């Protein structure tokens, strides 16, 4: 079969050269479409059936699903999905030693924005795939490339709403230093806004002080945190309890005016077994009880959509195979991924990728060259195991 994609280094160069930063802040946000179109061309050339799916709320961005090998309409598909995101975080070029949009090879490392997190992954998939004659596949290989993982997670959310990929197992190539991860925490980032009534500070009865009410909210949040930490523990994690961080507070304007508005932002990390909706329900119940019979107005709002925690059972076939081919035990990681969206679709998922999360989301992001060939070998073993 004719394989008409560029060589590995050339593919990496092209992927890094195209900016695909996503951010909830519009001034840092760019489309991922050029990366999707580049990948679509490569996977088509390799014989994949390629579907480009624009995001409903941001049609200038898109997911890509590329499929090869026999898909059984009925019966159980056991194939493999290799999944990752095409967006990166924004970067501050002035703190970089090298141009973040130009792949630079130095010190046995490949520098560039998205080298570790995680555009390189797609070139490495192609490198592994080129070892196979896909006409011999008995089960499908599906490549998923999403949009907006670093911001709204809309790409993953659309996947859950609109598709049913014909696979039972998935590997997400987020940077884990070639060691498989079968668990991560979830994340909720919320704000609570209190509205009281302003007035002259000399007579407190003229107003309703939102800052004083916020003092009660902070106490309630800390009691809730202690309660959650008593109820949930998981020793797979370096921090084995759910955490709640009070990260931002703003209220009032002047010492001689009764504070009429106060807002707090916090981040809650969920353990497997907790879910985003019930956490929100609990918080609402606590705030409702706290302010029952008072005049204070309150609202709780998400700063970004919550990400559920992920846990794939240790005895899942994909966990065991990832352990086997990477020669490492499955562990838990501290960062969130699109994995929970795949598990919602009934796809058993492992996080296993080249590069290190410690190099992601910061200047001089790099992928160690020593990770490249071993990772291509791992992918080839997984494809052979699950698709042949
Ligand atoms: Zn990532």
Q: Worst-scoring range by mean pLDDT, 65-74, 314-323, 350-359?
A: 65-74
Copy the structure tokens of residue 158. Answer: 């659309």
Is the per-residue pLDDT at 74 higher than 60?
no
Please confirm whether the linkage preceding 109 is cis (ω < 30° from 0): no
Q: How far is the CA of 76 from the centre of ligand 1 (A)?
A: 30
76 three-state secondary structure: coil
Are 5 and 45 in contact by the 8 Å Cβ rule? The answer is yes
pLDDT tens-place string over residues 32-66 = 999 999 999 999 999 999 999 999 999 999 999 99
Cα 151–Cα 120–Cα 95 angle in degrees, nearest 5: 65
**DSSP annotation of 201:** T
The rounded Å distance from CA 176 to ligand 1 centre is: 10
Is 60 exceeded by the pLDDT of residue 333?
yes
- Please tell me the predicted confidence (pLDDT) of residue 193: 98
Q: Which residues in the chain belong to E strands, given as ranges?
A: 49-54, 62-68, 80-85, 104-106, 109-111, 141-146, 169-172, 181-184, 186-195, 243-251, 261-270, 297-307, 310-311, 331-333, 348-351, 366-368
Residues around ion ligand 1, judged by CB within 5 A, are 117-118, 174
pLDDT tens, 188-208?
Answer: 999 999 999 999 999 999 999
3-state DSSP assignment of residue 165: coil
- Active-site annotation holds for 87: yes
Pick the catalytic residue from 29, 127, 148, 149: 149
pLDDT at 25 over 90: no
Residue 71 has a pLDDT of 87
Which pLDDT score is estimated for 304? 85
CA 338 to ligand 1 center in whole angstroms = 9
Return the pLDDT at 321: 98
Q: How far apart are alpha carbons 53 and 64 in whole angstroms? A: 6
What's the gap in Å between 11 CA and the centre of ligand 1?
19
pTM check: above 0.85: yes
CA of 174 to the centre of ligand 1 (A): 5
Alpha carbon of 150 to ligand 1 centroid (Å):
7
CA-CA distance, 12 to 305, in Å (whole number)?
Answer: 31
Closest CA to 221 of 197, 240, 198, 248: 248
């Amino acid at each position: 079969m004719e394989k008409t994609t560029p060589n590995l280094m050339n593919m990496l160069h092209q992927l890094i050269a195209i900016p695909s930063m996503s951010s909830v802040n519009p001034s840092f946000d760019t489309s991922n479409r050029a990366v999707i179109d580049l990948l679509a061309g490569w996977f088509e050339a390799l014989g994949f059936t390629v579907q480009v799916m624009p995001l409903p709320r941001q049609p200038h961005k898109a997911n890509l699903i590329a499929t090869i090998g026999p898909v059984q309409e009925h019966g159980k598909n056991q194939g493999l999905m290799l999944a990752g995101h095409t967006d990166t975080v924004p970067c501050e070029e002035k703190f970089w030693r090298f141009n973040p949009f130009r792949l630079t090879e130095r010190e046995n490392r490949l520098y560039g924005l998205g080298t570790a997190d995680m555009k390189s992954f797609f070139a490495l998939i192609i490198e592994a795939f080129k070892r196979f004659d896909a006409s011999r596949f008995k089960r499908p290989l599906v490549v998923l490339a999403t949009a907006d993982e670093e911001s709204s997670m809309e790409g993953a959310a659309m996947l859950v709403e609109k598709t049913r990929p014909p696979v039972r197992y998935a590997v997400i190539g987020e940077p884990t230093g070639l060691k498989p991860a079968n668990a991560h925490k979830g994340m909720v980032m919320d704000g609570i806004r209190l509205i009281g009534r302003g007035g002259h500070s000399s007579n407190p009865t003229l107003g309703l002080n939102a800052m004083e009410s916020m003092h009660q909210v902070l106490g309630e949040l800390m009691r809730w945190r202690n309660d959650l930490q008593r109820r949930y523990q998981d020793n797979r994690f370096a921090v084995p309890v759910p955490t709640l961080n009070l990260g931002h507070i703003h209220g009032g304007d002047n010492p001689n005016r009764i504070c009429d508005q106060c807002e707090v932002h916090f981040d809650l990390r969920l353990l497997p077994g907790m879910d985003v909706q019930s956490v929100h329900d609990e918080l609402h119940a606590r705030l409702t009880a706290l302010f029952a019979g008072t005049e204070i107005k309150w609202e709780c709002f998400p700063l970004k959509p919550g990400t559920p925690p992920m846990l794939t059972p240790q005895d899942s076939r994909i966990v065991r195979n990832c352990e086997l081919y990477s020669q490492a035990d499955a562990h838990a990681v501290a960062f969130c991924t699109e994995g929970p969206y795949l598990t919602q679709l009934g796809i058993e998922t492992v996080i296993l990728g080249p590069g290190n999360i410690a190099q992601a989301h910061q200047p001089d992001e790099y992928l160690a060259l020593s990770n490249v060939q071993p990772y291509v070998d791992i992918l080839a073993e997984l494809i052979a195991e699950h698709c042949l």
